[in-house]
A and B are shown apart, each in its own frame.
Chain A
Amino acid sequence: MLRSRFAPLLAFVVLIVCVQLLAVAADKPQYLTQLTMTGYYSLVIIGLCMLIGYAGQISIGHAGFFAIGGYVSAFLATYNLMPHKEKAFTGILSKTGLLVQAQDLYGADILVFHPWAACIAAVAVTMLIAYVIGGPILKLKGHYLAMATLGFGTIIYKIVLGTSLFGAADGLSDIPGFRILPGLEVSGKSSLRIHNYYIAWGIVVLGMLLLSNLINSRVGRALRSIHSAEDAANAMGINTARYKLNIFVLSAVFAALGGVFLTHYNGGIGPSEASIMKSVRYVAIVAIGGMANLWGALSMGLILNFMSLRGYFGSYDDAVFGIILIIIMLFAPEGLLRRELLQWPKKLFSSKAEEKKA
């Protein structure tokens, strides 16, 4: 049990290291930049995979949570409190060490929130919003749930697009790097490229560790029972509403963290991150990955997001994801990378072994 849980994780770590070494050996270090960004998008995808695949609840609004995370932390990390320096509120904040002095592009002193404070605030805001809307939204089913989450995503998109404080159509930029720990800084400096690649994928590995533990626990079994028969699960004494809500909030937090880190890495965020197309893209990747298959979703997200960020799809970027979505749903509604599919080479070998015995 333990071995089967940690073997893929170990293999994954080895793969990450190999990819980095290959990229450097092939003299294509610029690939690592897109791979780092892909890592942060992967956080959204594995969170969403828990919600769609394991809890069986669709969300076409997860880009909204990504944007909430990104925008809140970007806003706090750049909003200059210097004009309000004299106010008591600002004084209290700076005494608690939540604020840092920095310099803007023109060398003027500014007073902004520390990225850690901004990050925690972003996660807290996301959790609050997810809890508030999650309660009523998850009571809905089918079309109603899909439309409600789509509506939520659209609201967030329209809000960030229409608010001048969030930079309206231009978004926020000049966001400083995020020093997670001394010596660990999330920022887009090219000298820190390899460093950042490992931070991003390190966070993904931690996320996968957490989620795969969750799946193999009491919670995971409860979720699977909700997915296959909600009424039956309820009758067995599983508090289905609470489980669904908690997974919804968990996946929202994953999305928000992806947003926070990617925003610091890119040094900016724009309203397109909140667009419906992004949300649909995340759903498409989870669907291709096999719905209830974390590793499938992660690997498909890695490949497709990387190709999309490198611009392999050109101007057909969104169309590619739309077509993939349709084809998968028409011909393989259970997803492309199903568990059974992974099982058949095993079966092939075992049947051969049995034949030999006979």
Chain B
Amino acid sequence: MNIELLSQYLVAGITYGTIYAIVAIGFNIIYNATGIINFAQGEFVMLGGMTAVTLHGYMPLPAAILSAVIVTMIIGALIEALFIRWLVGPSVLRMIIITIGISIMLREAALHVWGEAVRALPYFTGTEISVISFGDVHVSPQVLWVTGISAVMVLCLNFFFNYTLLGRQMRACSSNRDAARLCGINAKNMVTLSFVLSAGIGALAGCVVSPITYVQYDSGTGLAIKGFTVAILGGLGNSSAAIAAGLILGILESISVMILPTAFKDVVSISLLLIILFVRPSGIFGSVEASRLKEF
């Protein structure tokens, strides 16, 4: 095992880990606003990637990505308005089954619209063989795009939640819904907004990563499970811990490829999910007390 190979695995791990972290943040936004886990989170990533690939046939790349993100945001809002908004005090089991149903419908719709073909956007800059070298480490420019855009996205979200009125309203709703409503915040709109937001960041993640990982109608489920693993690993609802957890999972996964056949890559990360759930469901960064307070 030489250092060069190890660093390549590390880079691959960081790339995938970033995407898992973004999916996990999507889970967290909706979880914080509603207390439910949106099992259709991975489908937002898939929809974003697929829509962008189709739109790229008619318009330049940045416009296609922007439009794809907006389309996915609208789909997110529609889902919330149609299936979530008017339910009165739904049980957790009911919400789980509904969001699973939504994920199946989105996946099947994608299958009928786009077929089973594997698609990808072109590389944002350069081609699949162009590399940028940092000493011995050779990195595809797309990797820099993925990590860069994800970092910008996280910074923007941070700014949004801490320094804008709308973001602070959303946070108020997640910490105490009734108190927020007494202050004149429309809690239902905040829930819609959380779906729009997490659909948007999922779609953007799907666009930037599609040149490397490709998208297919059913690529959402795997991403959802891994994103959930990361969300749990970092402690549900804790988005900054999710980034660290995402990198951990990504790197673990790419190291596992050195030891086990690639076909078992997913088995490793899902086994990790089960182990965390069994041993420390509050996550490695979360506090046990805080997680007990949440309703499950």
A positions within 8 Å CB-CB of B: 58, 60, 133, 136-137, 139-144, 146-148, 150-152, 154-155, 158-159, 161-163, 276-277, 280, 283, 287, 315-316, 318-319, 321-323, 325-326, 329-330, 333
Contact B263–A161 (Cβ < 8 Å): yes
17 more contacts with CB within 8 A, not counting A287-B97, A319-B112, are: A140-B277, A141-B92, A142-B296, A143-B92, A146-B39, A147-B225, A150-B225, A151-B225, A151-B270, A158-B267, A161-B263, A162-B264, A283-B100, A325-B101, A330-B87, A333-B90, A333-B94
Binding site for A on B (CB under 8 A): 36-37, 39, 83, 87, 90-94, 96-98, 100-102, 104-105, 107-109, 112, 221-222, 225, 228-229, 232, 261, 263-264, 266-267, 270-271, 273-274, 277-278, 281, 295-296
> How far does the alpha carbon of A321 sit from the alpha carbon of B101 in the complex, in Å?
8
Contact: A154 with B266, CB < 8 Å? yes
Contact assessment for B270 and A155 in the assembled complex, using a CB-CB cutoff below 8 Å: yes
| CB <8 Å contact, A158 and B264 | yes
Q: Which 8 A-B residue pairs are closest in the complex by CB-CB distance?
A: A162-B263, A322-B104, A326-B101, A319-B108, A136-B278, A325-B101, A142-B296, A142-B92
Q: How far is the CA of A155 from the CA of B104 in the complex (A)?
A: 19
**What is the distance, in angstroms, from A229's C-beta to the closest C-beta of chain B?**
14
Q: Is the CB of A280 within 8 A of B274?
A: no
User: 16 A-B contacts, Cβ less than 8 Å apart?
Assistant: A136-B277, A137-B274, A143-B36, A147-B37, A147-B228, A148-B277, A159-B264, A162-B264, A163-B263, A315-B112, A316-B108, A319-B104, A319-B105, A330-B83, A330-B87, A333-B94
- Docked Cα-Cα span, A329 to B100, in Å, equals 11
Q: Please, which residues of chain B bring their CB within 8 A of the CB of A330?
A: 83, 87, 98
Q: What is the CA–CA distance of A330 and B91 in the complex, to the nearest angstrom? A: 11
| A106 nearest CB across to chain B (Å) | 30
CB-nearest residue of chain B relative to A334?
A: B94
With A and B bound together, what is the CA distance between A140 and B267 in angstroms?
20
Contact B273 A326 (CB under 8 A): no
Q: When the two chains form their complex, are residues B104 and A280 in contact, meaning their CB atoms are under 8 A apart?
A: yes
Q: Is the interface of A mostly helix, strand, loop or mixed?
A: helix
Distance from B263 Cβ to chain A, minimum over Cβ atoms (Å) = 3
Min Cβ gap A289→B in Å is 14
Evaluate whether A143 and B296 lie within 8 angstroms (CB atoms) in the complex, with A150-B225, A329-B98 already known: yes
Contact B273 A148 (CB under 8 A): yes
Roughly how many angstroms separate A151 CA and B37 CA in the complex, as a whole number?
Answer: 15
CB contacts (< 8 Å) of A141 on chain B: these are 92, 296
B175 to chain A, nearest CB (A): 19
Q: How far is the CB of A275 from chain B (nearest CB, A)?
A: 10
Selected contact of B281 from candidates A144, A155, A276, CB within 8 Å:
A144
Q: Is the CB of B108 within 8 A of A58?
A: no
Task: Give the complex CA separation of A309 and B225 in angstroms.
Answer: 29
Known: A58-B96, A142-B92, A159-B264. A276 touches B221 (CB 8 A): yes
